[in-house]
Each structure stands twice: as C-alpha cells, then as structure tokens.
C-alpha cells in the first residue's frame, strides 16, 4: 500500500502518494498546471519551464520533477508565475517559424494552444531567426528544425523507448538543435521510420512524407486502375480525426469515404493478413518438423525489420520470409487479381492506407517487386487519409456504412487483430493446430497474449508438440528479448515483434493526440477495444476458414508454402551497417 503525504496547493489541502510529483498531485486535485515538454512515461525532464511553481525555494521549480513532501506549500498561480511563464513562452516563440496557417499541425499544436491559454498576444523579444535546412530525404519522415522547440520528446522516445538512437541534441546554447550524428540525413541513419517521434512532437517539427498529391494525381489518371487497401488499425483511429471518441470503430464509414474519393476498388488488408497466417503458420510448422532455424520471428512490422537489419544481422535467418500483409496484398493485386479481372498489372496502381510511417519506406524496398512492378505504389497514413477526406469536402459523420469490395473483400477476425500487439500471435495460434493436425481446437480467444504488458508468453500443446511463444512490442523491449535469445537465455519457437508500443493501433501514422490526452488515456488500450470488438463480431475468426484465401490457393497458389507462394509472397532481408550507413 502506498504511503501518502499531505501538502497544500493554492491553499487547498491535498493528499498524494509519496514519491509522486507536484504536477501529479495538482492534477489529482483538479488544479491545472501548463506543460509543454512533459509527456508521461516518455519525457519528464523539466526542460521547457512551463510548469514552474513556487515551493518557497529561492527560485521557481518545475512541477513535473519536483517531489511532494509532508507539509509542502505550493503556489501554482500568481502574477509573478504567470508573467514568468509568459516571458518564457515568448522567448520560445521568438525564433520559432510561425507559419501556423500552413503548418501540418495547425489547430492541433500544443505550442499554439499554450500561447492562447497564457494570453500571449504579441512577441516582445523578436530575436535572431535561425534558418536550418529541412531534412526531407527520408521516404517516411520529414524533419523541420525551424519549428522545433527543443522539448526533447522525440529524442526521449527514439533513445529511451525505441532504443534506436537516430537523433539527439546537437550543439549548445542558441545553436542547439535536434539532429542525427554527424548531421546525417535521417535516411542515412539508423532511423527505422517508426514515426514515434512524430506522434510525440508537440509542434510541426516532425511530419510524415506526404503522398497525398501523388494519390490525387493517380485518381485523376483515367489510364490507371487505382485500388486501395486499408490496414486493420486505421478503422480504430480514423474516427478521432472527425471528433469520434478514442476507440470508436468506423470501418463502414471509412470504406464509404474511400469510394467517394474515387478508388475503383476498396479492399481490406485483413484479407492478406489471413493469407500471411497461412504462409507464416506453414513456415513455423515446417521449421518445427524439420529442425529449421528457431525461433521464427514475425516480419509484419517494417520498423522492426529495419531495426533487426541494423542491430541483429546475425538473426535475419530467424525472420519469417513472409512479406507483410501490405506487400503480400500488393503482389496479389498485381498477379492473381490482375489475371482474374483481365487488367494489365502495369495499369494497376495500389494505394495502402496504413497506421505506420515505416510502410512508406517498406513500399520502396527493391526486394518487394516480385511481379516486376512495385508491390505498393503509394502509402497514405491514417492522418493523410483524413486530410484527403476533408479536402474533398466529404462529411464523414453523415456517411452510411459500406462494405469492402469483392473479389477479395472478406476477412476473418484473425486478420483484424493484426492491428494490436499480440494479434499476429493470437491469429497464428488459432490456425497452427489446424495446420498441424487438420482439426481446430476449442481455444479461439487466446487472451494470455493480449494487453499492453511489455512482454507476454504463451504455450500451446498440439498432438504432444509444445509450441512456446513470446510477444513483445516497442523496440526497446524487443532488444531485451533478442539479447536474451542471442545469449541462449530464452528458448522459444515463435516470437511476435511490433515496432510501435501497443502495436499498429499506436503507429506513427495514427491521429496525433496532445500530451493532455496521452497523459490521461492509454491510446493503445482504447484503440485496441475497437479491434477486438470487430473480431468478436466476425462470423469467421480463423484465417484458414477465409473462403477467399482458400479459393486463391485452389485457383492460383496451389498450397501454402508452395513454389508460386514463395515467388510472390515471400522476400529476403539485408544486413545494414549500424551507423552511419554508406
């Protein structure tokens, strides 16, 4: 049981757990203290000085770091405190690129809101403006140092949560910036394109590389057959862009919006997720039966794949050779679908809507063009799709629910749950018994692999064969597990890794929620509810029951793991230098 201390905040007696901060105590008492750099569990360093309070010391203290103590007297609101906060904010704004109307974060900017809340109506300290080059060479992420407020949230999430270390603080004083070592572009660094820096950033200093205009151009090209596929996590996040509560499932409205944007066909990436389970499950069974390389590690998350290529090149043979569902579907559309519909694959333009900025990098990998054409032509994030819907003047909330298109519009619940941590593992474990024995077991809700714990284990026994599995999300957690496997301290048959904490529902391309929301609500858990609700509502919930997938094998691929499957649905990986990349 936690020990409590009693303190006074703005004349109000407050009880708070020993070891908590003044900011936490004030929040529990309904007292608001402004913040900018603070992001719970990620960045708690007191750098911005927005949360200063008077605790009777010689100088004001940062509430996000100052510990509570018995009898402590705190003042959060006085003329001197308000003036100090306002002056600090004006100094931050003095050399900030204030092109707010054309900024990607306009009306969703924490700096903008703070300026309004603190009644900043003028900038009294117009200073020297720095002019840094914008790093827009990465296929996934654009970095604009001129908009950076040096809050260091991006540095914390990249270094401490993801343990990638692609960016850090460079130089000192007025010359301080956030950048890569040796001032390399992100594309030449160890950046894995996960985009967690983007969703952590309070301003517009980080954004995705936009594909919107290229998609508009494709839709206007009458010579192209433009189709779109949507990842499962998109339906769990898109509604937030249009005022729906976090965790609202908007599948039908999303499909309707895409059809109104002009796509010839709207498909569900979940169908390819079912196909992935058939291929990956078969691969696992074959490795177990034939003493192949174990553990088998999932290959659906492109951020994780690049992380592995940089940091664990000795374990690339452990990765499943299966393409991700995105690229598996792209290859499918430019082969099976093209043949079935009588369309020249050169005329098929495949757009993916993904919760993930790393998918943009993945789409450009030269290994992913098994039909002679890139599997994927352009990738939109969830945010970009919302922008296109608004730009087209579509009233999202008034749209009816519509269905994905045939001939590949049906997926199972197993495909849907790919969007959450543990979902790929649960989908696989639902089908592995069938792939081993030809019969289903009774265990369909494998809840032991659900949830946002950093690490989860499961063991399934089929015909005397014990399959030991592990689930991990967030690259810092993945590093811990892989280090144990590499050292011979962990023994698994199958490991699921997702680059983003919580899985795809918390991807770098999902709607950006401000710190005021993220500090109070676990986005991972709330968005996951929409995924599991859709799974439970499905008639078919095992990948090997998907009639479209079974028909594909019957008409085209012959069998899971067959020659044609390997040619079109599987790939290989590349060992990369750790840093810098040449």
Active site residues: 280, 283, 300, 320, 359, 362, 367, 504
Enumerate residues 6+ apart whose C-beta is below 8 A from 107.
Answer: none
- Element of type H or E holding 267: strand 265-268
- Counting runs of H as helices and runs of E as strands, what totals does the chain give? 21, 17
**Strand 348-354 relative to strand 378-381: parallel, antiparallel, unpaired?**
parallel
* Assigned token pair, 155: 């540095």
CA distance 428 to 494: 10
Is residue 205 a contact partner of residue 147, using CB atoms and an 8 Å limit?
Answer: yes
CA distance 134 to 150: 16
Enumerate residues 6+ apart whose C-beta is below 8 A from 305.
Answer: 299, 319, 362, 573
Backbone angles phi, psi at 543, to 5 degrees: -60, -35
Handedness of CA 116, 118, 124, 125 (dihedral sign): negative
* Assigned token pair, 291: 């003493």
- Per 3-state DSSP, what percentage of the chain is helix, strand, and coil (rounded to 5)? 40, 15, 45
Supply the DSSP symbol for 393. Answer: T
CA distance 545 to 451: 26
CA distance 44 to 67: 12
Q: SS3 for 341-352, per residue? A: HCCCHHHEEEEE
Is residue 378 a contact partner of residue 353, using CB atoms and an 8 Å limit?
Answer: no
Sheet holding 12-17, edge to edge: 12-17, 4-9, 73-74
Backbone angles phi, psi at 308, to 5 degrees: -65, -40
CA distance 295 to 305: 15
């Amino acid at each position: 049981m936690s020990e409590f201390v009693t303190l006074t905040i703005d004349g109000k007696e407050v009880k708070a757990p020993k070891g908590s901060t003044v900011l936490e105590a004030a929040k529990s008492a309904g007292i608001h203290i402004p913040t900018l750099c603070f992001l719970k569990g990620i960045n708690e360093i007191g750098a911005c000085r927005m949360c200063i309070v008077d605790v009777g010391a010689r100088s004001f203290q940062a509430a996000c770091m100052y510990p509570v103590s018995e009898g402590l007297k705190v003042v959060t609101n006085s003329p001197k405190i308000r003036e100090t906060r306002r002056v600090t904010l004006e100094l931050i704004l003095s050399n900030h690129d204030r092109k707010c109307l054309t900024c990607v974060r306009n009306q969703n900017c924490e700096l903008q809101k703070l300026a309004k809340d603190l009644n900043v109506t003028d900038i009294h300290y117009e200073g020297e403006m720095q002019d840094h080059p914008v790093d827009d060479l990465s296929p996934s992420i654009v970095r604009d140092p001129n908009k950076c407020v040096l809050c260091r949230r991006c540095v914390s999430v990249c270094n401490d949560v993801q343990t990638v270390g692609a960016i850090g603080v460079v130089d000192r004083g007025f010359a301080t910036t956030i950048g890569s070592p040796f001032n390399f572009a992100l594309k030449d660094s160890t950046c894995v394109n996960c985009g967690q820096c983007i969703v952590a950033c309070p301003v517009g200093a980080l954004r995705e590389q936009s594909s919107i205009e290229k998609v508009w151009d494709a839709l206007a090209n009458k010579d192209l057959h433009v189709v779109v596929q949507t990842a499962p996590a998109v339906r769990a996040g898109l509604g937030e862009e249009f005022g729906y509560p976090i965790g609202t499932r908007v599948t039908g409205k999303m499909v309707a919006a895409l059809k109104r944007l002009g796509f010839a066909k709207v498909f569900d990436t979940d169908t390819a997720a079912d196909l992935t389970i058939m291929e990956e499950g078969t691969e696992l069974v074959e490795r177990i039966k034939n003493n192949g390389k174990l553990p088998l590690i999932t290959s659906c998350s492109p951020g994780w794949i690049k992380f592995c290529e940089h940091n664990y090149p000795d374990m690339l043979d452990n990765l499943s050779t299966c393409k991700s569902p995105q690229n598996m579907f792209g290859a499918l559309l430019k082969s099976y679908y093209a043949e079935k519909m009588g369309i020249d694959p050169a005329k098929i333009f495949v757009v993916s809507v993904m919760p993930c900025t790393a998918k943009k990098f993945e789409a450009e990998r030269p290994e992913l063009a098994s039909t002679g054409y890139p599997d994927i032509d352009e990738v939109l994030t969830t945010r970009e799709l919302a922008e296109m819907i608004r730009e087209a003047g579509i009233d999202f909330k008034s749209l009816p629910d519509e269905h994905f298109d045939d001939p590949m519009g049906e997926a199972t619940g197993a495909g849907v749950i790919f969007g959450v941590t543990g979902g790929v593992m649960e989908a696989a474990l639902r089908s592995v018994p069938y792939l081993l024995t030809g019969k289903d077991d009774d265990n369909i809700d494998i809840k032991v692999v659900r949830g946002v714990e950093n690490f989860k284990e499961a063991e399934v026994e089929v015909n005397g064969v014990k399959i030991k599995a592990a689930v991990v999300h967030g690259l810092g957690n993945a590093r811990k597990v892989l280090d144990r496997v590499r050292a011979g301290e962990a023994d698994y048959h199958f490991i699921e890794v997702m680059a983003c904490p919580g899985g795809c529902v918390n991807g770098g391309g999902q709607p950006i929620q401000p710190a005021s929301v993220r500090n109070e609500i676990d986005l991972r858990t709330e968005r996951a509810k929409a995924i599991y609700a859709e799974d439970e509502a499905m008639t078919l919930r095992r990948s090997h029951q998907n009639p479209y997938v079974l028909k594909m094998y019957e008409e085209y691929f012959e069998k899971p793991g067959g020659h044609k499957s390997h040619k079109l649905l599987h790939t290989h990986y590349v060992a990369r230098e750790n840093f810098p990349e040449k």
